[in-house]
Amino acid sequence: MEYDDTNKGAIWKNDRKEAETHPDYTGSINVDGVEYWLNAWRKSEDASERAPVLKFSVKRKDAPRMAAENNDLANSGREFNDDIPF
């Protein structure tokens, strides 16, 4: 039986944090079958390690590929028509 990870996620302490702007925690999450990268920062320096208050950032795992596909389309010489026919 396969594990269903739909609408579930996990984060771990970021052991590779090199700058203050890097996330304190990293991981991934699945929302309605779509995979996302998940980053989190502790909100305050004095937040407890056992129950930190976190600020999250979420990015689709396929976002770079989607951006590249959009750039390919934009550079293909095709014209875009933004007029909505209604």
pLDDT digits (tens, 9 = 90+) for 55-84: 888 899 987 655 555 555 455 554 545 555
**Residue 86 — very low, low, confident or very high, per pLDDT cuts 50/70/90?**
very low
pTM greater than 0.75: no
Cα 45 from Cα 24, distance rounded (Å): 11
| Residue 80, SS3 per DSSP | coil
Which residues are registered as beta bridge partners of 54?
42
Cα 74 from Cα 86, distance rounded (Å): 25
